[in-house]
Amino acid sequence: QVQLQESGPGLVKPSQTLSLTCTVSGASITSDYYYWSWIRQPPGKGLEWMGAINGAGSIFYNPSLKSRTSISRDTSSNQFTLELRSVTPEDTAVYYCARSISLPGIITTFDEYDYWGQGTQVTVSS
């Protein structure tokens, strides 16, 4: 069974860098068939796709976040990571990692993905 688990700090100060890790079990992040994404949902708002890395290691970003976002992977640990720089309170959200068989759209929905992590709340506050 495929499982994804987000980990990282729940509280980040403004202007700092948010770093999250997604640990995957039951599937390889180097598989040719999948995209591994970061998605977030601010309070009271819809889902926002942030970016993805595919099995070949190609990386795709939401253009609106590209200047502040980096996605990378550690194949030996079967993990992929998100860095979001220069955070503000507007970056407060539940952050998810998820798997899909096609590249998600910027406006995304839960049913674009076949497996999700449980999500982790990140609050940006001083």
| Residues 34-46: tens digit of each pLDDT | 999 999 999 999 9
| Residues 89-122: tens digit of each pLDDT | 999 999 999 999 989 888 888 899 999 999 999 9
Residues across the chain = 126
How does strand 3-7 pair with strand 35-41?
unpaired
Q: For position 106, what pLDDT does the model report?
A: 82
Q: Which amino acid is at 104?
A: P
